A = this chain, B = another copy of it.
Amino acid sequence: MSAEIICVGTELLLGEILNGNARFLAAELARLGIPHYFQTVVGDNESRIHQVLELAVSRSQILLFTGGLGPTPDDLTTAAIASYFNTDLVERPEVIQDITTKFAQRQRQMTDNNRKQALLPMGAEILPNITGTAPGMIWSPQSPLQILTFPGVPSEMHQMWQDTAVPFLRAQGWGESIIYSQVLRFWGIGESTLANKVDRFFDLQNPTVAPYASGGEVRLRLSARAKSEADALAMINPVAEQIKAIAGEDCFGQDEDTLAAVVGQLLHEREQTVAVAESCTGGGLGAMFTEIPGSSSYFRGGVIAYANEVKAAVLNVMPETLNQFGAVSEPTAKQMALGVQQALQTDWGISITGIAGPEGGTPTKPVGLVYVGIAGPDQSVAVFEYQFGGRDRATIRHRSACHALDRLRRRLLH
């Protein structure tokens, strides 16, 4: 028994919009424990919808359609499904009534186009749409197949899913066994190195453990199938604890934890404050800190020292340091971190100076060379050198800020 998501819409085939509906339904299916192996996107075209149906019917028992329920001629999902099963469409008076009422409320005139939205295959149940004019349907044209249709408008689809589809699926026994996932998040270790350390877990069947990497971060997803979230967690936790013990400080958090949130929590616990001195990241590190609600309890501010004169005038970097070693250097990073710690009277000062490119590199200081300085409450400063060569400006800036957060995190752990 498995479900399949079929999204109908030429705008998806033209790449005009992201398929947020597929993501939403996929996450919901996982939550209900309904297996789901395929997603398909197809245009507003009857014969191609038939092709997709033929395959989907052969391998899945629950088909979730989104899109193509609107009033215009290119909206033909319902008609295509009905014709595939040689079933007539019937106008539903209760839908006509509902659409008429909604148009009246909005002081607009219902058009003939909208009558089309009241046509559903004979035998199909209406899947009510509270806010919009396009209802969906729940239809079992043949046993054990169940077809559910939703409009493409995300807010309408979400509400219809929660209000009607979920209770319907639960009544059929779904949701008794669920798939629950926990994601462990790592910084400062590569995917293959981490995989080598924890590969003994990759053969587990329940929970499963799978790695993936994105934007310099590595994640391990632990997924368990169980009767409840609590049962799933009881299966996941021992594995998660073993992995955390192996990974040590490289594991910075789980699920929605971000580096900035974890660092913020550590600063909050210690009742310490931080300030940033940013050159190549231009404010990006401060923006990460302040993404976190409540960050004002530990983040006091910073100096964006993009020009050398600002490094000297506001951060007290010595002109001779800039002259002798350059703005992108270990001594400059050091003085920037101390300078902002001093100017803003904080426990910690973090600096970033580097060459984000694409221009500005030299043979000795190539694009991607970045220094991160961490000045601590004991007046010590540690400076770390990074080489992000071969990466683009946005990536170099993002990774620089993440590494700076990670360095502070590791300092705060001791």
- Chain A residues within CB distance 8 Å of chain B: 9-20, 22-30, 36-45, 48, 51-52, 55, 59, 70-74, 102, 105-114, 130-131, 153, 155, 179, 181, 183, 190-193, 195-196, 199, 202, 210-214, 221, 223, 276, 278, 280-287, 289-291, 293-296, 299-307, 309-310, 313-314, 343-345, 356-359, 387, 389-395, 397
Contact = CB atoms under 8 A, between A and B. Distances in A.
A19 B18 contact: yes
30 contacts: A11-B221, A12-B26, A13-B30, A15-B27, A15-B30, A16-B221, A18-B18, A19-B22, A37-B45, A37-B48, A38-B41, A39-B41, A71-B192, A72-B191, A102-B390, A105-B389, A111-B193, A112-B196, A153-B214, A276-B283, A283-B287, A283-B290, A286-B304, A290-B304, A299-B306, A303-B303, A304-B304, A309-B345, A310-B344, A314-B344
Nearest to A307: B300
A193 B109 contact: yes
B304 A301 contact: yes
Nearest to A151: B213
Nearest to A113: B192
A229 B22 CA distance: 32
Contacts of A211: 72, 74
Nearest to A73: B202
A15 B11 contact: no
B393 A105 contact: no
A58 to B, nearest CB: 10
Contacts of A38: 40-42, 48, 52
Given A72-B211, A131-B391, A283-B283, 17 more contacts: A9-B212, A12-B22, A14-B221, A15-B28, A18-B19, A19-B22, A72-B210, A74-B202, A111-B192, A112-B196, A113-B195, A130-B390, A281-B290, A282-B295, A293-B393, A299-B306, A302-B304
Nearest to A133: B192
B113 A70 contact: no
Contacts of A15: 22-30
Interface centre among A11, A38, A193, A302 (most CB of B within 10 A): A302
Given A14-B27, A71-B192, A210-B10, A291 B393 contact: yes
Nearest to A109: B193
B22 A16 contact: no
Contacts of A293: 357-359, 393
A10 to B, nearest CB: 7
A41 to B, nearest CB: 4
Nearest to A368: B105
A131 B43 CA distance: 34
A286 B278 contact: yes
Contacts of A199: 73
